[in-house]
Chain A
Amino acid sequence: MRVLGIETSCDETGIAVYDSDKGLLGHALYSQIDVHAEYGGVVPELASRDHVRKILPLIEEVMAAAGTEPEALDGIAYTAGPGLIGALMVGASVGRALAYGWNIPALGVHHMEGHLLAPMLEPEPPAFPFVALLVSGGHTQLVEVLGIGEYTLLGESLDDAVGEAFDKAAKMLDLDYPGGPQIAKLAQQGRAGRFTFPRPMVDRPGLDFSFSGLKTHTLNTVAEHAGPDGLPDQQTCADIALAFESAVVSTLVIKCRRALEQTGLRTLVIAGGVSANVHLRSELTSALTKIGAGVFYARHEFCTDNGAMIAYAGCQRLLAGQSEPLGVTVRARWPLDSLPECKVNK
Chain B
Amino acid sequence: MVANFISLGPTSFMTHILAIDTSTDACSVALSANGTVTGLFELAAKSHTQRLLPMVEELLHQCHCGLENLDAIAFGRGPGSFTGLRIGLGVVQGLAFARRLPVIPVSTLAAMAAGYWRRNPDAAVRPVLTSLDARMNEVYWSVYRACSGQQTPEQVIEEQVISPASAASAMNDWEEAFDGIGQGWHYDELRSLDPHTIEQACYPAAEDIARLAVEAFTRGEAVPVQEARPVYLRDTVSWKKRTRIRS
A residues apposed to B, CB below 8 Å: 38-41, 43, 45-46, 48-49, 52-53, 55-57, 59-60, 70, 85-86, 89-102, 325-330
Cβ–Cβ contact B53 & A56, under 8 A: no
> Of all chain A residues, which has the CB nearest B98?
A101
Count the A-B residue pairs with Cβ separation under 8 angstroms: how many? 111
Contact between B245 and A40, CB atoms less than 8 A apart = yes
Whether a CB of chain A sits under 8 angstroms from the CB of B172 is: no
- 9-residue interface stretch from B80-88, B152-160, B162-170: B80-88
Q: Is the interface of A mostly helix, strand, loop or mixed?
A: helix
Besides A70-B98, A97-B95, A100-B94, 17 more A-B contacts (Cβ < 8 Å) are A38-B244, A39-B246, A41-B245, A49-B86, A56-B93, A89-B86, A92-B49, A92-B90, A93-B91, A97-B90, A97-B92, A98-B94, A100-B56, A100-B57, A101-B67, A101-B99, A326-B57
- Main SS class of interface, B: helix
Residues on the B chain within 8 Å of A46, using CB: 236
Residues of B near A55 (CB, < 8 A) are 93
Residue of A nearest to B230 (CB): A52
| Complex Cα–Cα for A20 and B67 (A) | 29
- Across the interface, do A56 and B225 meet the contact criterion of CB distance under 8 Å? yes
**B53 adjacent to A96 (CB under 8 Å):** yes
Per the CB 8 Å criterion, the residue count for chain B at the interface is 35
Task: Please determine whether B53 and A327 come into contact, CB atoms closer than 8 angstroms.
Answer: yes
Q: Provide the B88-118 mask, 1 if CB < 8 A to any CB of A, else 0.
A: 0111111111110000000000000000000
CB–CB A89/B90 < 8 A = yes
Closest to B236 in A: A46
Query: Residues on B close to A: CB < 8 A?
Result: 49-54, 56-57, 67, 82-83, 86-87, 89-99, 225-226, 229-230, 232, 236, 239, 243-246
Closest CB in chain A relative to B63 CB, distance in Å: 16
In the bound complex, residues from chain B placing their C-beta under 8 Å from that of A39 are: 243-246
Query: Is the pair A38, B93 in contact by a Cβ cutoff of 8 Å?
Result: no
A-B contact pairs, 29 of them (CB 8 A): A39-B245, A39-B246, A40-B246, A45-B239, A48-B82, A52-B230, A53-B229, A56-B226, A59-B97, A70-B98, A85-B83, A86-B83, A89-B90, A93-B91, A95-B94, A96-B53, A96-B91, A97-B92, A97-B95, A98-B98, A101-B67, A101-B94, A101-B95, A101-B96, A101-B98, A326-B54, A327-B53, A328-B50, A328-B52
Report the bound CA distance from A327 to B47 in whole Å.
9
B109 to chain A, nearest CB (A): 20
B83 interface neighbour in A38, A48, A59, Cβ under 8 Å: A48
- If A39-B244, A45-B239 touch, does A89 touch B94 (CB 8 Å cutoff)? no
User: Chain B CB within 10 Å — which of A90, A329, A330 has the most?
Assistant: A90
Q: Which residues of B contact A100 (CB under 8 A)?
A: 53, 56-57, 67, 94-95, 98
